[in-house]
Structure 1
Amino acid sequence: MTYTKKIERPQPNCVGNPTTARSVYHLTLAGIVLCIASASQATTNFPQGPVEMIVPFAAGGGLDQNARAFSKAFSEILNTPVAVVNRDGAAGAIGLAGLAGAKADGQTLAFTPAVSLTSQPHRVKSIKYNLESFTPVCQVFDNIFAIAVLSNSPYKTLSDVIAKARAEPDSVSYGTSGIGSIPHLGTADIEAAANVRLNHVAYKGDGPMMQDLLGGRLGFGAVLASSVASQIQAGTLRLIAVYSDRRHPGFASVPTLKEAGVPVVQLSFGGVLAPAKTPTEVLQKLQSSCERAAKSPAYLEWAAKAGQVVDYLPAEDFARKLREDSQSKEATIKRLGL
């Protein structure tokens, strides 16, 4: 009879074998340290290649030109290329949705007006992003809107417009670039504050609206102040009030709505956003670079020539303004049923 002896091989036992347990412990600890070191090195070495700057509106417009001038200064400070990428559509929602879904490593940012973040989610319920989807880097600019009338218009002040609308409801027509736009929301707030009714004519952009305004077919146009600088200089148009909380530096004689007697402010500001959960070390570098770019001589020189208002604010103040603006726009949108 043949007997076969079964060889028992020792099995690893981290509890019963102190030597093996210590080995596993040290290997695990080494792996953790290596991971931490790699992550630390990744954030320390930011940026790692070109940075993508999403502009959520079409190329060639005022925002696009602003973004390209800013990105040039930003690129020089970060010492890496900053590529402006236009992802337009849905009033900025497509571009911001792209940023919300991007990797939170600082390599993808957005240069955007606040309205796409503070207004659109209240109007379009299918939008998947909100304030918590992003981390503010810094505010860079203001877009100051104004009430523009023909130079021979009978409306010399905002009080003239309100008096006419109060005497004859819906008799004063005004044009904007579209329903839900900053000028539309701001003028709707004027109606509510003054208890009057105006006749809103919504256009698909400023171009067609300006044609009707210059043709005398509108009582006034609610426009970006800097965009009508040439018509004002030529004596074709006049500004009678601005929607912001301060006067436009290029039109210092034009009062704010509050100064004109109507307690309304409709802000249009913007800046740089990063995805939520971007590492602190990366954010710190982005924030300091954003400040330097916004205050750089080259960018300020471009802004002065373009009539663009630069209004830098650090991340904390930018975040606070975004929250307040979101609450304000939500209230107006609900009141209008938009």
Structure 2
Amino acid sequence: MSSASYAQAYPHAPITIIVPYPAGGGVDTMARLFGAALQAKWGHPVVVENRAGGNGAVGAQLVAKASPDGYTLLASAEGPLVMNQHLYTKLNYDPTAFTPVTIISSSPMFLSVTPSVPVGNLAELLAYAKAHPGALRYGTSGVGAPSHLSGVMLEMKTGIELTQVPYKGSAQSLSDFLGDHINMLFAFQTSAGPYFNTDKMKVLAVTSPQRHPAFPAIPAIAETLPGFAALSWVAMVAPPGTPPEIASKLSSAIAEAMKSPEIKKKIEELGSTPIANTPAEAGAFLKEESGRWGEVIRAAKLKVD
């Protein structure tokens, strides 16, 4: 049967979305949100399975080896699809071989400092960092996480010296930040948003290429450092060799679901910007992100194995 005729009949069976992280996180929430939308649209069960481990490699490998028929999908953040190929010497899958479906959403980070740091904007922060090498201690979710690589990129572009303090998750780093045990953070709106307008946190800039529409008064780092961009995002991909007609059908269905006011509101509540682009646009985005972070990781000589 040709791929075109096969795609025309798609879907005619249950779909499984693999999430390479534990249940309850942002990617898991997105997968379940759109899984329910696909199930409602097509009338076939859509099951979300959490296969955590290996910085997302366990779940990614499972999908990489699945049948390319559109019935096993991967909903993932940047680690398994972009970072891992540069951080690990050996992987049991090829991150570049997946069939792109869509980028569901993206989330910037907010560069913040504690009130004890005597600065009021990014320019003052950079001047302070140059005068006090290593004095700015920023919490991260671990080596190779967006919160870590954002700091590495800031060092590369400015020549400052920061001190990374790795944690097992963002909740602990935020707790230590609020307790003034660390004094700088690349914070996500989902966890740190309630503190943005309080005396607990000074938000200096956002890591998106432009200002965030929900926080127009907060400048983008790129306004001071052109080309700076650091986003966390959620992508949907299919196994290598999946017919493009199936990828397009999935992409269109997700884009249609994205028009729902309820779904858009939920995504914005998660601190994310809805995207839902085409497979071609998703592929170009993944390639661009791989180039951006690969350059940072190589320059910093980062390896986790």
TM-score normalised over the length of structure 1: 0.83
CA distance in 2, matches of 1:316, 1:41: 21
Partner residue, 1:104: 68
The 8 Å contact of residues 63 and 238 in structure 2, kept in 1 or not, is answered as: yes
The 8 Å contact of residues 49 and 81 in structure 1, kept in 2 or not, is answered as: yes
In the alignment, does 2:18 pair up with 1:54? yes
CA distance in 1, matches of 2:182, 2:14: 47
Match of 1:114 among 58, 78, 84: 78
Match of 1:254 among 207, 210, 218: 218
**Which residues of 2 match residues 1-338 of structure 1 at below 5 A?**
36=1, 42-151=6-115, 153-261=117-225, 263-338=227-302
* Compared CA separation, residues 52 and 123, structure 1 to 2 (3 A): same
CA distance in 2, matches of 1:254, 1:158: 10
The 8 Å contact of residues 56 and 87 in structure 1, kept in 2 or not, is answered as: yes
The 8 Å contact of residues 131 and 323 in structure 1, kept in 2 or not, is answered as: no
CA distance in 1, matches of 2:175, 2:260: 37
| Aligned-residue offset at 1:322 | 0.5
The 8 Å contact of residues 135 and 273 in structure 1, kept in 2 or not, is answered as: yes
What letter corresponds to residue 230 of structure 2 in structure 1? Q
5+ residue gaps, structure 1, are 1-35
Q: Deviations over 1:79-113 (max 9, x none)?
A: 32211111111111111111101110000111111
Over the matched positions of the two proteins, sequence identity in percent amounts to: 30
The 8 Å contact of residues 85 and 95 in structure 2, kept in 1 or not, is answered as: no
| Aligned-residue offset at 1:272 | 0.9
* Compared CA separation, residues 82 and 197, structure 1 to 2 (3 A): same
What letter corresponds to residue 232 of structure 1 in structure 2? F
| Aligned-residue offset at 1:40 | 6.4
CA distance in 1, matches of 2:212, 2:190: 9
TM-score normalised over the length of structure 2: 0.92
The 8 Å contact of residues 241 and 260 in structure 1, kept in 2 or not, is answered as: no
| Runs of 4+ displaced beyond 4 Å | 39-42
Q: Deviations over 1:55-77 (max 9, x none)?
A: 11110112212221222222222
What letter corresponds to residue 169 of structure 2 in structure 1? G
5+ residue gaps, structure 2, are none
CA distance in 2, matches of 1:255, 1:322: 25
CA distance in 2, matches of 1:115, 1:139: 14
Structure number, greater radius of gyration: 1
How many residues end up aligned between the 2 structures? 302
* Compared CA separation, residues 123 and 307, structure 1 to 2 (3 A): closer
The 8 Å contact of residues 248 and 279 in structure 2, kept in 1 or not, is answered as: no
CA distance in 2, matches of 1:199, 1:112: 28
The 8 Å contact of residues 137 and 290 in structure 1, kept in 2 or not, is answered as: no
* Compared CA separation, residues 59 and 156, structure 1 to 2 (3 A): same
- The DSSP-based 3-state class of the residue aligned with 1:69 is helix
* Compared CA separation, residues 171 and 133, structure 1 to 2 (3 A): same
| Aligned-residue offset at 1:42 | 4.3
* Compared CA separation, residues 143 and 214, structure 1 to 2 (3 A): same
CA distance in 2, matches of 1:307, 1:269: 11
- The DSSP-based 3-state class of the residue aligned with 2:222 is coil
* Compared CA separation, residues 238 and 68, structure 1 to 2 (3 A): farther
- The DSSP-based 3-state class of the residue aligned with 2:221 is coil
Of residues 248-257 and 296-305 in structure 1, the stretch that sits farther from structure 2 once superposed is: 296-305
Partner residue, 1:12: none
CA distance in 1, matches of 2:158, 2:269: 36
